[in-house]
């Protein structure tokens, strides 16, 4: 399952050409790729009934059955990585949920339109991805929410094309903003597990963490970023492994006349807890000097910790910035927080 780093530049810098077959795949016609993973089903949700989801922060999560996965991507769009991710998803007939940053949408509105054209759900992730978001204050935080939505609407030209889904930058939730979002009818998304791709780990490690955590949960919302080269490189392997292991992709949309609310039970939104195990590779154990407690002051823009992180949690020291991160032509929301 190793992914050679030497493939990175050729993979990411090749011309971005989405074929007619790929567009057909994005529309749900998988005849061009009979072995595609595909999108198993669509779940339509009512945000006002279930306003906060994702077990990393909340008691409720999406009403999935075992072996179902929802793919989500944060922080985009960003060239050339968003295009690469879109090509990969289209080739596998997979639909995802995107949480876009307003100023990135203003820089690349054509990519926001492409997201919608390929059938993905578009939620929002604030205007500027400020960090720490919880330090913005209620009024500034509300402005970040509203400006981010307005930028997405402007890129698409239709408010109906933007889902009432919001994810806090860095999962930096606050009670006052959660209350405001609920009053606005916005569904707050956390996640059930991350792949830690924002940590600048290798593509192989992104694959390992995503699959290990999914296997431990059995189902859930996976958080990734469409702004990073290693994620784009890891995604084909993740999708291939999901298919090989019998997982199915679920696409989530807001309930509407076109998509009536999917019938569910109250219990389906409250997953039964599984035993939690923490595992380390031998290399991680031997490299204990590279591990240290993660202070709250070092939370990054996408440090995906639960609201009540155990005091014994550890995180790897940050690695040097990768040169490939400079490839994107759109502004990099992460650069402000390094």
Please identify every residue annotated as catalytic.
74, 225
E strands of 205-290, at which residues? 220-225, 248-254
The dihedral over CA atoms of 126, 129, 130, 136, expressed in degrees to the nearest 10, equals 20
Among residues 140, 141, 162, which one has the least CA distance to residue 151?
Answer: 162
Q: What are phi and psi of 132, to 5 degrees?
A: -75, 135
Two tokens, residue 105: 């949408």
Helices 175-183/138-156 angle, 10° precision: 40
* Bridge-based pairing state of the strands 193-194 and 187-189: unpaired
Cis peptide before 132 (omega within 30 of 0): yes
How many other β-carbons are positioned within 10 Å of the β-carbon of residue 38? 17
Do residues 126 and 145 make contact, with C-beta atoms less than 8 angstroms apart? yes
DSSP designation for 119: T
């Amino acid at each position: 399952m190793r992914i050679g780093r030497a493939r990175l530049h050729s993979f990411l810098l090749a011309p971005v050409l989405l074929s007619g077959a790929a567009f057909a795949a994005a529309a749900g016609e998988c005849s061009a790729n009979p072995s595609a993973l595909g999108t198993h089903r669509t779940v339509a949700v009512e945000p006002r009934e279930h306003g906060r989801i994702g077990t990393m922060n909340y008691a409720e999560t999406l009403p999935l059955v075992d072996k179902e996965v929802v793919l989500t991507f944060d922080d985009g769009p960003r060239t050339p990585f968003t295009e690469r991710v879109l090509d990969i998803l289209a080739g596998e007939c997979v639909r995802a949920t995107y949480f876009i940053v307003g100023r990135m949408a203003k820089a690349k509105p054509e990519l926001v339109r492409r997201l919608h054209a390929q059938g993905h759900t578009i939620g929002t992730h604030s205007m500027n991805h400020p960090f720490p978001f919880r330090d913005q204050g209620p009024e500034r935080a509300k402005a970040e929410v509203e400006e981010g939505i307005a930028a997405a609407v402007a890129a698409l030209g239709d408010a109906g094309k933007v889902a009432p889904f919001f994810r806090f930058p860095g999962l930096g939730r606050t009670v006052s903003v959660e209350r405001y979002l609920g009053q606005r009818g916005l569904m707050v998304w956390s996640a059930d597990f991350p792949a830690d791709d924002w940590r600048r780990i290798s593509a192989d490690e992104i694959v390992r963490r995503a699959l290990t955590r999914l296997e431990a949960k059995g189902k859930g919302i996976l958080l990734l970023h469409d702004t990073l080269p290693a994620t784009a490189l890891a995604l084909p392997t993740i999708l291939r492994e999901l298919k090989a292991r019998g997982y199915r992709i679920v696409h989530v949309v807001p309930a509407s006349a076109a998509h009536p609310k999917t019938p569910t039970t109250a219990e389906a939104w409250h997953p039964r807890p599984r035993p939690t195990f923490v595992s380390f590779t031998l290399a991680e154990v031997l490299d204990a000097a590279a591990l240290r407690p993660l202070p709250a002051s070092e939370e990054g823009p996408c440090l995906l910790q639960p609201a009540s992180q155990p005091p014994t949690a550890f995180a790897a020291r940050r690695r040097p910035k990768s040169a490939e991160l400079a490839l994107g032509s759109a502004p990099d929301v992460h650069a402000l927080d390094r």
